[in-house]
Amino acid sequence: MGTGKKKIEIKRVEKEQQRMVTFSKRRQGLFKKAGQLHSLAAASVAVLAFSPAGRPYTHGDPSFGAIVDRYLANTTTGREDSAAAMNTTKMSSWLHALQIDRCDDIQELVLMKKQLEEIKEKVAEKIINARDSSF
């Protein structure tokens, strides 16, 4: 007789290799659920996840970039450049706060800060390009 699904205790996986495997499997499941939400509810879904190694992974339905662009267009329409810059800073701060409690050491924090700064720069470039093309 099969054991079926068992409820497991949610806790940090101690072995690094096992943690990477767990992340990969859970990431795939998360992205699959995001796709189902898009299919069933016709919602636009964007997911950004950082691996234990600090690599960002994105998923979006219809696409991650399109959803971020739409979000930025909706939040910056009719506002000054300073408001757009403040919005990207707010987004970076939110992403940083989301990940900070999962860090073990200062190197991980420094790596995450660098990645978030890169994301912030890309978002700011997209805002500038969008404004330039609208004029």
pLDDT at 34 over 60: yes
Please name the amino acid found at residue 93: S
- The pLDDT score that the predictor gives to residue 17 is 92
pLDDT in tens, 91-111: 655 555 554 455 556 676 677
pLDDT at 55 over 70: yes
Please name the amino acid found at residue 23: F
E strand or H helix at 27, and its extent? Answer: helix 16-41
Q: What's the whole-number average pLDDT of the chain?
A: 76
Per DSSP, the three-state class of 36 is helix
- The pLDDT score that the predictor gives to residue 82 is 47
> pLDDT grade, residue 6 (50/70/90)?
confident
pTM: 0.53
> pLDDT grade, residue 1 (50/70/90)?
low
Q: How far apart are CA 104 and CA 89, in angstroms?
A: 24
More reliable by pLDDT, 64 or 28: 28
User: DSSP states of 53-120 as a string?
Assistant: TS-EEEEEES-HHHHHHHHHHHHHTT--HHHHHHHHHHHHHHHHHHHHTT--SHHHHHHHHHHHHHHH
CATH level 2 (architecture), domain 16-134: 3-Layer(aba) Sandwich (3.40)
Read off the pLDDT of each residue in 53-70 and give the average, rounded to a whole number. Answer: 83
Domain boundaries defined on the chain: 16-134
Point out which residues pair with 60 in neighbouring strands: 46
Which two three-digit tokens encode residue 99? 């990940």
- The pLDDT score that the predictor gives to residue 31 is 92
